[in-house]
Amino acid sequence: MPEVIYKDNDNLVEVDELKNSATDAYINTATVTLTAIRDSAGVTVTGVSFPMSMTYVASSNGKYQATVDKVIALVAGQAYTAVIDAASGTLDGHWEIPLTCKIRTS
């Protein structure tokens, strides 16, 4: 099921519990990037600048966050994909997370 991104709202994008799968240790020193938010045609959405650095949350276990400004050009009801990349030493991660844009009603 797709995650929700709200039109005309600042949206928090988060990676939680980033781990080394071989050791099960949390990675708190990675470089994590929201590389793009793409529409269903694979085109990067305009209105904000990508790539966007995701900041480590102090004293967390591998949590990284970025805020996407409300000016991003989203269309309610449309499908999008958040592309996230992480690197730590020789370890790399890549995610493509399905999103659905909605209008907040409550």
The tens-digit pLDDT sequence of the chain (106 residues) is 689 999 999 999 999 999 999 999 999 999 999 999 999 999 999 999 999 999 999 999 999 999 999 999 999 999 999 999 999 999 999 999 999 999 999 8
CA gap 27, 8 in Å, rounded? 33
What is the model's pLDDT at position 1? 65
Note the pLDDT of residue 91.
95
pTM of structure: 0.94
Phi-psi region of 62 (alpha: psi -120 to 50; beta: other; left: phi over 0): left
Residues 6+ apart with CB under 8 A from 94: 83, 84, 85, 86
Residue 65 exposure: Cα atoms within 13 Å on the Cβ side: 10
Residue 93: the pLDDT is 96
